[in-house]
């Protein structure tokens, strides 16, 4: 699956298509994002169609990781028509790939 995903990302023209992390759970995915923020000092943007499950597990993170995500993380909710209200992290709706350029613009 990893190879097929990287091949698809490359063929679709995604930047940094080789810089992909595969995680075994929603909590692990968020923890990896927080660790990346901590290591690099850079903001992280995650595109995910399982955004509801991700949002429901943010509060299970260690306090420091949750704080990092609240400050430096954006979840692009793929397939969502609208961003959920009162989300624990920044969420931007990404109904289809056609809106990706608009969704990743800084606010």
Q: Which residues, in sequence order, are CB contacts of 56 under 8 Å at separation 6+? A: 26
pTM to 2 decimal places = 0.83
Q: Which residues, in sequence order, are CB contacts of 98 under 8 Å at separation 6+? A: none
pLDDT in tens, 86-107: 999 999 999 988 877 777 676 5
* pLDDT band (50, 70, 90) for residue 14: confident
Q: What value does the mean pLDDT take over residues 10-27?
A: 83
pLDDT in tens, 51-94: 999 999 999 999 899 999 999 999 999 999 999 889 999 999 99
Q: Report the distance separating Cα 36 and Cα 97, nearest Å.
A: 24
State how beta strands 44-48 and 90-94 pair: unpaired
pLDDT (0 to 100) of residue 97:
80
Task: Please report, for the chain, how many H helices and E strands are present, in that order.
Answer: 5, 3
């Amino acid at each position: 699956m990893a190879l097929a995903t990287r091949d698809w990302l490359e063929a679709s023209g995604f930047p940094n298509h080789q810089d992909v992390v595969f995680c075994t759970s929603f909590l692990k995915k968020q923890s990896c994002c927080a660790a990346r923020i901590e290591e690099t000092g850079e903001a992280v943007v995650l595109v995910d169609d399982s955004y509801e499950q991700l949002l429901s597990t943010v509060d299970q993170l260690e306090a420091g990781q949750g704080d990092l995500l609240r400050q430096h993380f954006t979840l692009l909710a793929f397939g969502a028509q609208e961003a959920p209200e009162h989300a624990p992290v920044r969420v931007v709706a990404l109904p289809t790939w056609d809106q990706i350029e608009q969704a990743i613009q800084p606010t």
